[in-house]
Amino acid sequence: MTSHPVLQDARPPAVGRPMRERAWSLPEVRWALAASGLFGCAAAAHLLGKPAWLYWGLYLACYVAGGWQPGLDGLIALRRRSLDVDLLMVVAALGAAAIGQIFDGALLIVIFATSGALEALATKRTEDSVRGLLGLTPETATRIGDSGEELVGTAELAVGDLLLIRPGERIGGDGVVVDGASAVDQATITGEPLPVDKTAGDEVFAGTVNGTGTLWVRVQRPSADTVISRIGAMVAEASASKARTQLFIEKVEQRYSALMVAATIALLTIPLLLGSDLRSALLRAMTFMIVASPCALVLSTMPPLLAAIANAGRHGVLVKSAVVLEKLATVSRVALDKTGTLTLGVPALTGIHVRPESGFGRAELLALAASAEHPSEHPLARAIVAAARDAGLALRPTVSFTSAPGRGVRARIGDDTVEVGSPGQLGDDATVGQLVHTSERAGRTTVIVRVNGATAGVLELTAHPRDGAADAVARLESLTGTTPLLLTGDNPQAASQLAADVGIADVHAALLPEDKVAIVRGLEADGAAVMFVGDGVNDAPAMAAARVAVAMGRTGSDLTLQTADAVITRDELRALPAIVALARRARRVVTANLLIAATFIVVLVGWDLLGHLPLPLGVAGHEGSTILVGLNGLRLLRDRTWSA
């Protein structure tokens, strides 16, 4: 957990700290303010006709305040044989001072420091919102044991422990409320600012803050598995990658800068050789160097992308890198998994059919199936386990558990081998076939339970679509201009039923994980940029094959969270169209920025070479475009995309 810059900083999370205080904590901001202040004093002294030593001194102090850091960074970069635009700016300002244009040079430094501070501020806001999601689980929790209350480390908490959560306390584990009522502030993992009411039966999450009530919570996940620690580990792993556009610009920047320095030297020496005077040759060369610098180009890409990533993070969408955001903007086809993605995390068990010849009772069959499913993280498995618990059935220990994604599970329970899984995969005889057929025609999901190779019965499950599923599908359809696809391992009838409920016309059912991959590959081969949305281990291969993959953060398995490019921490489907729309907005801003930057450079350089561009105008134009581009990027911090 050390590679991510966000995590190296051990200061407490800055979420909610006022912007002013946050800005003040940045050295870039403090130095920029100092440079501006000194510039103001110097200019005043200059205009009021004070002695030259005074305002020169103040101007030079302004140079130092605004220029030492970029200058130093530039020199360090130079030692690694890379040419930094920052260094060019400092050299240009020093050149301006050398030819007596100290006012213009100092102005250049001030505006330069200001745009640097703006950039630092944008980066900081991004880091703050990501950090808000991380590492906020408290160290200890109050556990109610046999001997009463005891304070234990949250790392030691086990599934089934009962926790007492006092008012105002940060919750130590993921679990279910068994008693009490309170409003819980879940902003740390969902980004949602309003507290959510919790009573018995509701889920609570580690790292969220209890309001004024007291809660008793039964721990449901081991501490390494909580939503917040999984997301944290994932963010830590994602390297602070750079956007492709940015990498391209940086590659070009090196050659461009070298060319620019050569041109500046030529602009200085050729007129001198032709007999021009030193001062005017220097002035021209300096002006050229300033206006030709690619500062605005360099600032065009990352600030907008980072601002968009911060914005998404505040709304519960974790985008793993800037490259992902670039890819999200290109999405032209959306493929969605069914169980756990379009449907709620845990379906309901709606029927138990025992095969009479098997000799099992209904409760016995359910208990066997639940015992076999207990180790599985699949939504169907959780539904079966929950149904057995609700019926008060005791689960039996399992040995040699194996699960085949998209097929089912197998385990040894006592002397029996129990298999629970898809009818298509486990095979069936005529009576069972009839049973399965009837349930499936009614749009149910069915799983077969086999004991020692013989079918013992069929379990019938119904899953409801998540809130807003139909809306999300419709918005995705209008954004991409293509029909979303439903890809599921479930039976065709259950799939069609759900597809009809949420408005998907293109349904592919009874798929194994490799079939999902084949469909995604086929679409990509036809030129589509596929976004795959899923939650299960069975979706991971298709996620890897898709252009960009999104996982459901709460129901999603570890593997899915790792494979995914972005994670929806709130499991809200409306975040899907929102993130695509945001990525497209970011792409538009980047394109506009690149155009603005390039236009300014071309016009100002052309003017300087062909006509006579006054130095102050050159400085104003160059720095103006840099700041314009920087501010344009910050617009993406605004919430617009999410309100729709």
β 506-508/485-487 pair status: parallel
Q: How long is the chain?
A: 644
Contact between 449 and 365 under an 8 Å Cβ cutoff? The reply is yes
Neighbouring residues of 285: CB distance < 8 A, sequence distance ≥ 6: 95, 264, 265, 267, 268
Q: Does the footprint of Mg ion cover residue 489 (CB under 5 A)? A: no
Catalytic residue flag (residue 415): no
Residue from 190, 293, 339, 557 binding Mg ion (CB under 5 A): 339
Tell how far CA 584 is from the center of its chain: 15
Residue 381 near ligand ADP by CB under 6 A: yes
| Nearest residue to ligand ADP on Cβ basis | 489
β-pair type (445-451, 548-552) = unpaired
The CB-nearest residue to Mg ion is: 536
Q: Which residues contact 436 (CB under 8 A, 6 or more apart)?
A: 423, 428, 446, 448, 458
Sheet-wide strand order for 182-185:
196-198, 182-185, 209-210
Shortest separation between residue 153's beta carbon and ligand ADP, angstroms? 32
| Of residues 337 and 623, the one with the C-beta less far from ligand ADP | 337
Q: Which is nearer to ligand ADP, 198 or 410 (CB)?
A: 410
The torsion angle over the Cα atoms of residues 446, 447, 453 and 456, rounded to 10 degrees, is: -70
Minimum distance from CB of 157 to ligand ADP (Å)? Answer: 26
Query: Mapping DSSP to helix (H, G, I), strand (E, B) and coil, where does residue 149 land?
Result: strand
Q: Write down the least CB distance from residue 495 to ligand ADP, Å.
A: 8
Both tokens of 277, joined, read: 């005077």
Q: Is 318 helix (H, G, I), strand (E, B) or coil?
A: strand
- Closest distance to Mg ion from the beta carbon of 341 (Å): 5
Cβ-Cβ contacts under 8 Å for 260 (sequence gap 6 or more) = 88, 289, 292, 293
Identify what 378 binds: Mg ion, ligand ADP, none; CB under 5 to 8 Å per kind: ligand ADP
- What are the CA-CA distances from residue 633 to residues 52, 454, 486, 588, 596 (Å)? 40, 63, 36, 10, 12
What is the crossing angle of helices 52-79 and 85-98, to 10°? 150
Choose one: 324-332, 378-386, 525-533, 615-623; the region binding ligand ADP (CB under 6 A): 378-386
Pick one of 129, 246, 257, 339: the residue that binds ligand ADP (CB under 6 A). Answer: 339
Please identify, using beta-carbon distances, which residue of 106 and 550 lies nearer to Mg ion.
550
Q: Going by DSSP bridges, is the β-strand pair 348-354/399-404 parallel, antiparallel, or unpaired?
A: unpaired
Count of residues in contact with ligand ADP, rule CB under 6 A: 24
Contact map string, positions 432 to 471, toward ligand ADP, x by CB under 6 A? -------------x-x------------------------
Report in angstroms how near the CB of residue 542 gets to ligand ADP at its nearest: 9
For ligand ADP, what does the binding mask look like between residues 534 and 563, x meaning CB under 6 A?
--x-x-------------------------
536 vs 618 by CB, closer to ligand ADP: 536
Residue 445's binding partner out of ligand ADP, Mg ion, none, with CB under 5 to 8 Å set by partner kind: ligand ADP
- Is residue 536 involved in binding Mg ion (CB under 5 A)? yes
- For the CB of residue 159, give the shortest distance to Mg ion in the complex, in Å: 22
Is residue 508 a contact point for ligand ADP (CB under 6 A)?
no
Q: Which one of 420, 436, 542, 564 is in contact with ligand ADP (CB under 6 A)?
A: 420
Q: How many residues bind Mg ion (CB under 5 A)?
A: 5
Contacts within 8 Å (CB) and 24+ apart, 34-41: 34/65, 34/66, 35/62, 35/65, 35/66, 35/67, 35/109, 35/110, 35/113, 36/110, 36/113, 36/114, 38/62, 38/65, 39/106, 39/107, 39/109, 39/110
Between 207 and 423, CB nearer to ligand ADP = 423
* Lookup result for tokens 């016009």: 603
Minimum CB distance to ligand ADP smaller for 459 or for 586 = 459
454 residue type, one letter: A
> CB under 8 Å to 138, separation ≥6 — which residues?
154, 169, 170, 171, 172
Q: Which stretch binds Mg ion (CB under 5 A): 160-168, 291-299, 329-337, 491-499?
A: 329-337
Considering the complex, state which of residue 135 and residue 340 has its C-beta at the smaller distance from Mg ion.
340
Q: In this complex, which beta carbon is closest to ligand ADP, that of residue 445 or of residue 462?
A: 445
Stretch that binds ligand ADP, among 240-248, 389-397, 419-427, 464-472 (CB under 6 A): 419-427
The item of ligand ADP, Mg ion, none sharing an interface with residue 628, based on CB under 5 to 8 Å by kind, is none
Q: How far is CA 393 from CA 243, 528, 611, in A?
A: 53, 49, 89
Catalytic residue among 104, 161, 185, 337: 337
CA–CA dist 208, 503 (Å, integer): 35
Q: Which DSSP letter does residue 83 get?
A: -
Residue 268 interacts with which of Mg ion, ligand ADP, none, CB < 5 to 8 Å by class:
none
Is residue 488 at the binding interface for ligand ADP, with CB under 6 A as the rule? yes
Q: Are 618 and 289 in contact (CB under 8 A)?
A: no
Where do contacts with ligand ADP occur on this chain (CB under 6 A)? 337-340, 373, 376, 378, 380-381, 403, 406-409, 420-422, 445, 447, 488-490, 536, 538
Residue numbers annotated as active site: 337
